[in-house]
């Protein structure tokens, strides 16, 4: 499972679809609707939120917006708790610069292998997903580096 901390604009088509599907799975886990993946380390940061299902719904909202801007048709009705005010969620979760750097390099390797035409979109200092605010720090403790 990879729920990217990076802005979805950096993802190629395969990455965007995979992130959507994996985040829907994470949403299902957070709602208690599956027995698999319940101990997945990436879910820690969502569980730390006061409203984990709403937070992941906001994350999905921004993924959906990126997909729509690219002409893809992701089913927004799959978002269990869509945000009534998406702007309220801008930058509410923190992500360390170290985590962003690790994910940027991880994504760079994936793009080199499957979508080299998408590499120019990947900035040297990648922006976080709109839900996250970048803060100084190392790779997250939950990351399996």
DSSP the chain: ----SB-GGG--HHHHHHHHHHHHHHHHHHTT--STTTT-GGGHHHHTSSSHHHHHHHHHHHHHHHHHHTT----GGG-SS--SSGGGGTT-EEEEHHHHHHHHHHHHHHHHHH-GGGGGGS-SSPPBPTTEEEES--S-TT---
For residue 123, what are the domain limits? Answer: 8-135
| Residue 1 is assigned to a structural domain of this protein | no
Cβ atoms 133, 91 nearer than 8 A: yes
- Asked if residue 119 belongs to a domain, the reply is yes
As beta bridge partners, residue 133 has: 94
> First-to-last CA distance in the chain?
13
Residue 143 lies in a domain: no
* pLDDT band at 133; cut points 50, 70, 90: very high
Residues facing residue 95 across a β-bridge: 134
Q: What is the count of structural domains for the chain?
A: 1
Chain centre to alpha carbon of residue 82: 15
Q: Is there a domain that residue 142 lies in?
A: no
Check pLDDT > 70 for residue 116: yes
In a domain, 64, yes or no: yes
Each residue's pLDDT tens digit, 43-87 = 999 999 999 999 999 999 999 999 999 999 999 999 999 999 999
Q: Is residue 145 part of a domain?
A: no
* Higher pLDDT, residue 95 or 39: 95
Q: How confident is the model at residue 126 (pLDDT cuts 50, 70, 90)?
A: confident
Average pLDDT over residues 12-23: 96
Cβ atoms of 98 and 138 within 8 Å: the answer is yes
Confidence of residue 145 (pLDDT cuts 50, 70, 90): low
Question: Would you say residue 3 lies in a domain?
Answer: no
Q: With respect to residue 78, please indicate whether it lies within any of the assigned structural domains.
A: yes
Q: Are 72 and 82 in contact (CB under 8 A)?
A: no
């Amino acid at each position: 499972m990879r729920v990217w901390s990076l802005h979805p604009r950096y993802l190629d088509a395969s990455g965007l679809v995979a992130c959507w599907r994996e985040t829907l799975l994470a949403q299902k886990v957070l709602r208690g609707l599956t027995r698999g993946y319940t101990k997945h380390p990436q879910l820690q940061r969502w569980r730390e939120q006061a409203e984990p299902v709403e937070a992941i719904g906001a994350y999905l909202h921004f993924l959906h917006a990126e997909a729509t801007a690219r002409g893809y048709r992701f089913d927004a009705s799959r978002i269990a708790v869509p945000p009534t005010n998406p702007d309220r969620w801008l930058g509410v979760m923190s992500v360390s610069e170290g985590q962003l750097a690790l994910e940027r390099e991880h994504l760079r390797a994936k793009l080199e292998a499957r979508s080299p035409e998408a590499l120019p979109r990947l900035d040297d200092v990648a922006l976080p997903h709109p839900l996250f605010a970048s803060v100084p720090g190392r790779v997250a403790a939950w990351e399996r580096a």
